[in-house]
Amino acid sequence: MQLSTEQIIIFLLSISTMLFFAKLFGELFSKIRLPAIVGEIIAGIILGPTIFGMIFPEIYSWLFPPLDETKIALDGITTLAVIMLLLVSGMEVDLSVVLKYRNTAVSTCLIGILIPFGLGFLISFFFPDFMGLEFTEMRLAFSLFIGTAIAISSLPIIAKILLDLDIFKTQIGFIIIAAAMLNDLIGWLIFSIILGMIGANDHGMSFSTTLLLTILFVLFMLLVGRRIINRLIPLVQDKISFPGGILNFILILGFLGAAFTEYIGIHSILGAFIMGIAIGDSAYLKSRTREVLQQFVTNIFAPLFFVSIGLRVNFIANFDPAIVFTLLAIAFIGKVSGGSIGAKLGGMNLNNSLAIGFGMSSSGAMGIILGVIALQSGLIQETVFVGLVVMALFTSLTSAPLMSIFIRKRTDIPSKNY
Partner 1 sequence: MDTPFKKLALAVTFSPTGKALLKETKRLKELFNSELILIHIGKKTKDSEKKLIDTIESAGLSAIENEIIWEEGDPANVIIKRSESADVDLLIAGALQKESFVKYYIGSVARKIMRSSTCNVMILKSPSENPVNFKKFYVSIDFTDGGKRTVSTAYQFALLEAAAEFVVVRDYNIPALSTAILDSGSIEELDILKSKYQKEEEAYMKEFIDQMDLKRIEIQTICIYGKEGWEATKLARSNNADIFAINVPSKKLKFLDRLFLHEAEYSFENLPSNLLIIR
d(CA 246, CA 284): 11
The interface region with partner 1, picked from 41-49, 61-69, 98-106, 345-353 by CB under 8 A, is: 98-106
36 near partner 1, judged by CB under 8 A: yes
227 near partner 1, judged by CB under 8 A: yes
Radius of gyration of the chain (CA): 21
Exposure of 72 in the CB half-sphere (CA atoms within 13 A): 7
Complete DSSP assignment for 175-211: HHHHHHHHHHHHHHHHHHHHHHHTT--SS---HHHHH
22 near partner 1, judged by CB under 8 A: no
275 near partner 1, judged by CB under 8 A: no
In the complex, what is the shortest distance from the CB of residue 224 to partner 1, in angstroms, rounded to a whole number? 9
The interface region with partner 1, picked from 92-100, 119-127, 343-351, 368-376 by CB under 8 A, is: 92-100
Preceding amide of 243 cis, omega within 30: yes
d(CA 418, CA 403): 21
155 near partner 1, judged by CB under 8 A: yes
Helix, strand, or coil (residue 407): coil
75 near partner 1, judged by CB under 8 A: no
d(CA 218, CA 104): 24
217 near partner 1, judged by CB under 8 A: no
99 near partner 1, judged by CB under 8 A: yes
In the complex, what is the shortest distance from the CB of residue 392 to partner 1, in angstroms, rounded to a whole number? 14
For partner 1, the binding residue among 21, 174, 301, 406 (CB under 8 A) is 174
163 near partner 1, judged by CB under 8 A: yes
330 near partner 1, judged by CB under 8 A: no
Helix, strand, or coil (residue 58): helix
390 in Cβ contact with 371 (< 8 Å): no
94 near partner 1, judged by CB under 8 A: yes
d(CA 108, CA 124): 24
- How far does Cα 336 stand from its chain's mean position? 19
- What residues make contact with partner 1 under the rule CB under 8 A? 26-27, 29-30, 35-37, 89, 92, 94-100, 155-157, 159-160, 162-163, 168-169, 174, 177-178, 180-181, 223, 227, 281, 283, 287, 290-291, 294-295, 298, 415-417
